[in-house]
Amino acid sequence: MSIEAILEKIDADQPAALERLFELLRIQSVSTDPAYADHCVAAADWLVNDLKSLGFEAERRDTPGHPMVVAHGGEGGPHFLFYGHYDVQPVDPVNLWDSPPFEPVLKDTPNGKVISARGANDDKGQLMTFLEALRAWFAVNGKLPCRLTIFLEGEEETGSPSLVPFMKENAGELTADLAMICDTAMWDRETPAISTMLRGMVGVQVTVHAADRDLHSGMYGGAAINPIRVLNRILSDMHDDDGRVTLDGFYDGVHDIPDEVKAQWDGLNFSTEDFLGEVGLSVPAGETGYTALEQTWARPTAEVNGIWGGYTGEGFKTVLPAEAHAKVTFRLVGDQDPDAVVAAFKAHVEASLPADCSASFVEKNGAKATVLPVDATEFTKAHAALSDEWPKPAVFAGCGGSIPIAGLFHEILGMDSLMIGFGQSDDALHSPNEKYDLASFHKGARSWARVLAALT
């Protein structure tokens, strides 16, 4: 089997590959908003059809939420499972997009051409790199490289409520020797990365209730408790002046960064100035005593992702609202227990409530942090294969984001995950003007072809 022939096929097939990705990007598969449920089904169907064209037996598998896509193909050799997600984040504020989020276009930038659209990176562009590698392999060799299971979900951006039940019910079908995941970033434009530490995450929405109706701030102001003020105080008290989270027991299970890891990270030439400067910031805002890299890779966080209450329209309305709300998520590291963190947050809220106030909560599925075996054979071989494709050798990296699936694969199916992704730090994930470098899309497919060749 000649890897060169496959790489040439990928190169030759680029225009068609891009058109396929654009088709997928045009489907408005926003998972968090029920209004887009039909679009999620359409994205799943599109992927089922595409997988069938690669020789897979592929099916849309409906769930109480958005459907899964499961496909089986190939034979012999090791058995790999590839995971990706076809759902995307909401597009608001839509007025900040330079072009419509669901009308993908190529744009010229100082760093080369980029694909601009919601999901261009996360995760449609990334997952298609794997499928394009398989397509070329299938075209050149008439078969897939080994036994493969493809497992794509549509609820990743909304806490994956259907995932665990589905995995448990179909554990036999989904268990492979190793999972492959394409949902992470490169170290920089020349240096590919294998992610080996991922923060976990858990979320909770809190509502503070006060009076049984909205009140006039003239008639009641001064005597009636304002739930926005109560919520401000609760959230403000969640951090001390050193940026540490004050919740009881929050740091249980958080380990110091080992000296050898610290040394490896120091060798990465990470530029805090560039990392923060790219988004208009300059000073690491987390716990004092840690670098920005440590703050995002190895330290846990408590962040308010949304807050609302009272009158938020044009002009002023002198109201004391009956309720105030916030969405809070925690990034977790080491052995932090998501349930314990949520319990500590709730306890903090309850302990902070003044007379006449109560609180209610909505929880988001949590996932622990994940640490992977960088010295296993597959990781070593994949590292070498990536280093062949890109100008600089691959690095083993941490990752501030949560990819709960990697933890669940370990916990439920006993599989480790090989996480390779081709995102860049300026891809504007979850933001207006999300993009994916055209080079990431093209060389991403070539990278997967090389990794599959090395492991089969």
Residue 212 as a binder of a copy of itself (CB under 8 A): the answer is yes
Q: How far is the CB of 60 from a copy of itself (least distance, A)?
A: 22
Torsion of CA 289, 292, 298, 300, to 10 degrees: 80
Residue 275 as a binder of a copy of itself (CB under 8 A): the answer is yes
List residues bridging with 179 in a β-sheet: 81, 417
Whether 194 and 454 have beta carbons less than 8 Å apart is answered as no
Q: Residues 1-40 vs a copy of itself: string with x where CB under 8 A?
A: ------------------------------xxxx------
Q: Of 33-52, which residues contact a copy of itself (CB under 8 A)?
A: 33-34
Residue 242 as a binder of a copy of itself (CB under 8 A): the answer is no
Q: Of 382-441, which residues contact a copy of itself (CB under 8 A)?
A: 399-402, 425, 428-433
Two tokens at 412? 């439920």
CB nearer a copy of itself, residue 92 or residue 103 = 92
Q: Of 126-165, which residues contact a copy of itself (CB under 8 A)?
A: 157-159
Binding window for a copy of itself (CB under 8 A); candidates: 76-84, 168-176, 312-320, 379-387: 312-320
Q: How far is the CB of 182 from a copy of itself (least distance, A)?
A: 16
DSSP assignment string, 155-216 = -GGGT-TTHHHHHHHTHHHH--SEEEE---B-SBTTB-EEEEEE-EEEEEEEEEE-SSS-EE
The strands making up 323-332's β-sheet, listed across from edge to edge, are 323-332, 200-209, 358-367
Whether 208 and 323 have beta carbons less than 8 Å apart is answered as yes
Q: Among candidates 98, 120, 139, 100, which has minimal Cα distance to 24?
A: 120
Q: Residues 337-356 vs a copy of itself: string with x where CB under 8 A?
A: -----------------xxx
For residues 343 and 337, give the distance between their C-alpha atoms in angstroms, rounded to a whole number.
10
Residue 180 as a binder of a copy of itself (CB under 8 A): the answer is no
Q: Is 54 helix (H, G, I), strand (E, B) or coil?
A: coil
CB nearer a copy of itself, residue 178 or residue 324 = 324
Residue 281 as a binder of a copy of itself (CB under 8 A): the answer is yes
Binding window for a copy of itself (CB under 8 A); candidates: 75-83, 205-213, 257-265, 437-445: 205-213
Residue 64 as a binder of a copy of itself (CB under 8 A): the answer is no
Two tokens at 109? 């930038």
Residue 120 as a binder of a copy of itself (CB under 8 A): the answer is no
Residue 336 as a binder of a copy of itself (CB under 8 A): the answer is no
When computed from its CA atoms, the radius of gyration of the chain, rounded to whole angstroms, is: 23
Whether 423 and 434 have beta carbons less than 8 Å apart is answered as no
Residue from 147, 325, 443, 446 touching a copy of itself (CB under 8 A): that is: 325
